Structure 1
């Protein structure tokens, strides 16, 4: 059999057709690659498509037409020094499969619909989706007003379109602090990697990003107390300042159990740092645990932070101490603590280990009221559905 195909540029090597064709648009003037197929017809179709793609890419470059993915990478380079960089990278990682390949001129409400629908399907709140849309708006604005091609043309040669944000009116979900029984049920159902991270979160009050990105080189050993703390950099905290994380006996045991699994990150999944805790595994476990799924109730991992804060309050921990433990900005440099002050914080956070605080009126009343509202709602529906039973 001839090693050459009837179509110029294809050569059979073994059982697979390979491209060897001069192409002025390809790097070095040659296009050399495998078609990955033993079928001559499929190889010819592949070659035709590749030549078209290479030509289109060259034309796009010559016209200085940039894709959203190129702009996204440029944006991350620009804001690498800011605290918002990590959160922006997580948003972009989620949206690039939907719009990354599109030229900047094609980014608008219509092309964003698939991404928005996917985020809503993941049960993300409108506010969270809007945070991602803010990143898109920032990229388009920079492409139109800041970034320039070699010849001075802007990356986006038209006024950036207005990206419509989702309405949050009347849709602000209320937090749902967990009781100890609910926590036990939920954590038993969660996959191991999520259960470890959730147990750490509910005993430290850390936000989702602060848990997922937690690194071993942020751990500091306090010699005077014989304990470790974590100092989070401003790049991952919400308020853009450093935050100290105090470990009580439970969160400390989680850290020790994770030690040695990965050299860089504390919480990993399949050898990589976790991108999010509010995953399909979390949603499945939340529902299976019988926790509320109706509209208006927060169903995500941020409830763990609310649970921590509520338990601190129920245990009688003062407001200023609660703020320090939750990393609230209060104008102070929150990582400059003496050993005595860290010991005071440690004593406070150890109070939430006791399960006795679950029976305080504060927590019990919240759950009782929620249950009564649900019962009342069902009763009203039953009355409407069964007129004869109404009084």
Structure 2
């Protein structure tokens, strides 16, 4: 059996390093239970430390290391969406060093996303989060010697947007769609059409956010796109949907088989949309429909902004009773129009 190098200790089945190199202590796991592999990892780390201390070399980090760090420390409302983008990018650039990532090395990733049927506007979201990770690596993250993970972030221009126009649906199209949806999604779609909630606001709606006495939900700013608390007044249709959901789950309003619904835009939604001959309708179009219908029944621009959760100074943290009453009357007009 080969003699192990000084500084290697086996704990819980894995080899760990505890070694001082040029006054710098390396104290970490090799991530391996195999001695030969652990020896190679130790040699690599020793050479890295010597290169940094003696020759001023910068430690090299891979994109998967940077992506992992980002997901561990990020505190964002869109963290789930960011994780999806990073997971999609890792097979293409995960093993590349941060210095090797640029638009040229991202070409295969972009081509694969387009081949999968994704629009450029969606791919731009992926590029934006990749750019965010690289920017943090260059401007914020430091190694044990105080060096930046990346010398300078690359320029990653966004693709030309191919976003299409919104498609608010008619009442007749609404009925066609609802007839094809399973019951749990039917309730969510109806609620979206009468409240204008975004998909994540809808799927994460909690009972703790309900003010039952006033007939409203108050979404905290950390879950709203513009960062402001959002008032969601319930008209008679929305209130009836809430009563149907009450008692089904202790935390979340919308559930399926005892678990919170993770997303509205899933296979069941897409299949129902196809059967209803509404392939052009996307989940976000429910929100456009809500806004269009408010305008059609004469709701003022200011009230529409408030009801859609756009940034506004009209609604304060005190939630004036008169303002809430005004908004509730506005959404009730949608019921009267049907």
TM-score band w.r.t. shorter chain: 0.7 to 0.9
Shift of 1:312: 0.9
How many residue pairs get matched?
A: 307
Matched, 1:127 2:114: no
2:327 — aligned with what?
345
Instruction: Tell me if the contact between 1:186 and 1:285 (Cα under 8 Å) persists in the aligned partners.
Output: yes
When residues 159 and 201 of structure 1 are mapped into structure 2, their CA distance, relative to the original with a 3 A threshold, is same
Q: TM-score, normalised by structure 1?
A: 0.67
1:354 — aligned with what?
336
When residues 228 and 52 of structure 1 are mapped into structure 2, their CA distance, relative to the original with a 3 A threshold, is farther
Instruction: Tell me if the contact between 2:168 and 2:288 (Cα under 8 Å) persists in the aligned partners.
Output: yes
- Return the match for 1:251 from 221, 225, 238: 238
Instruction: Tell me if the contact between 1:176 and 1:306 (Cα under 8 Å) persists in the aligned partners.
Output: yes
When residues 58 and 274 of structure 1 are mapped into structure 2, their CA distance, relative to the original with a 3 A threshold, is farther
How far does the alpha carbon of each residue in 1:112-143 deviate from its partner, in whole angstroms, 9 at most, with x for none?
45654565466554223312311210110111
1:214 — aligned with what?
205
2:304 — aligned with what?
322
Instruction: Tell me if the contact between 1:258 and 1:266 (Cα under 8 Å) persists in the aligned partners.
Output: yes
Bigger mean CA offset, 94-103 vs 124-133: 94-103
CA distance in 1, matches of 2:130, 2:81: 13
CA distance in 2, matches of 1:68, 1:27: 29
1:161 — aligned with what?
154
1:262 — aligned with what?
249
CA distance in 1, matches of 2:230, 2:125: 23
2:165 — aligned with what?
174
How far does the alpha carbon of each residue in 1:158-216 deviate from its partner, in whole angstroms, 9 at most, with x for none?
43333342211xx3311111111111111222334332222111110111221122222
Bigger mean CA offset, 174-183 vs 279-288: 279-288
Structure 2: gaps of 5 or more residues: 16-31, 49-58
Instruction: Tell me if the contact between 1:99 and 1:107 (Cα under 8 Å) persists in the aligned partners.
Output: no
1:304 — aligned with what?
286
Structure 1: gaps of 5 or more residues: 1-7, 9-21, 33-47, 294-298, 357-391
Q: Over aligned residues, Cα RMSD in angstroms?
A: 3.5
Say which one has the larger Rg: 1
When residues 281 and 58 of structure 1 are mapped into structure 2, their CA distance, relative to the original with a 3 A threshold, is farther
When residues 252 and 56 of structure 1 are mapped into structure 2, their CA distance, relative to the original with a 3 A threshold, is farther
Q: TM-score, normalised by structure 2?
A: 0.76
Matched, 1:28 2:19: no
1:381 — aligned with what?
none
Instruction: Tell me if the contact between 1:104 and 1:140 (Cα under 8 Å) persists in the aligned partners.
Output: no
Instruction: Tell me if the contact between 1:220 and 1:231 (Cα under 8 Å) persists in the aligned partners.
Output: yes
Matched, 1:89 2:80: yes
